[in-house]
Amino acid sequence: MSKKILVVDDNLQLRTLLVSYLTQEAFEVVTAGDGQEALYVARHEKPDLVILDLMMPQMGGYEFMRIYSREADTPVILLTARMEENDKVLGLELGADDYITKPFSLRELTARVHAVLRRMDKQKPAQDILRLAGITVDRPGRTVTVDGQLVDLTPSEFDLLVTLMAAPGRVFSRLELLDRLQGTAYEGYERTIDVHIRNLRAKIEPDPSHPSYIDTVYGSGYRFHPQV
């Protein structure tokens, strides 16, 4: 499943812009216009990450964090127009995982979102053995079998398969998959993921021209089919 992000900001134009951009990056996005509304949305939608403005009417970002941090350990990226060190320190002391000062570039914000989510994923205990639809992946041994037959994968193909199988149904953008493979994503090279996926399908799919395991989500990226 796609990661869900809650965007909290009283600026409707900014919320709309972030929804559009993050959706293109294969995230599911929900929004709120102030801290009070954000509490309601967060409790019902259970986001994977919150992008939170500090200065808002009704209830600001600090108060939202004081309340919600007692209910969930959801990572938070702060949006602030302020430059004072005390604001940043207070936000981090309340549990924020990162902050970005307005105005900011959308690509920088997206990079920070991916970085925070990666850190959270690394904190989760990884399964040594993944089994789905006749495919078995031994992560420590770095071996893959399909219907009991050993399949020889390159390191990049193996890492791609592990990434997709560890989150069946979640759509990964090409840029995100490239970042997972080499630690640094360069937009000009993201189409190399298509080559790796094509080669991987040739080795694990019963019919690579009509893949059963790895779906192409047009305009977004790839996912391991959740129903197989």
Provide the percentage of residues in the chain whose pLDDT is more than 70.
89
Spatial separation of the C-alpha atoms in residues 211 and 85, rounded to whole Å: 52
Q: What would the two tokens of residue 193 be?
A: 């993921």
pLDDT tens string 106-143: 999 998 898 888 887 766 656 789 998 889 999 889 99
- Of 64, 88, 123, which marks where a domain is finished? 123
The values of phi and psi at residue 181, to 5°, are -75, -45
- Of 91, 123, 155, which marks where a domain is finished? 123
Q: Which of 13-22, 101-110, 117-126, 183-192 has the lowest mean pLDDT?
A: 183-192
* Predicted local distance difference test score (pLDDT) of residue 87: 65
Highest mean pLDDT (candidates 73-82, 84-93, 214-223): 214-223
Three-state DSSP class for 135? strand
Buried b or exposed e, range 89-127, using 16+ CB within 10 angstroms: eebeebebbbbbeeeeeeeebbebbbebbeebeeeeeee
* Count of domains observed in the chain: 2
- Of 123, 145, 160, which marks where a domain is finished? 123
| Residue-range definition of the domain harbouring residue 86 | 4-123
The values of phi and psi at residue 113, to 5°, are -60, -50
- Pair 142, 113 in one domain: no
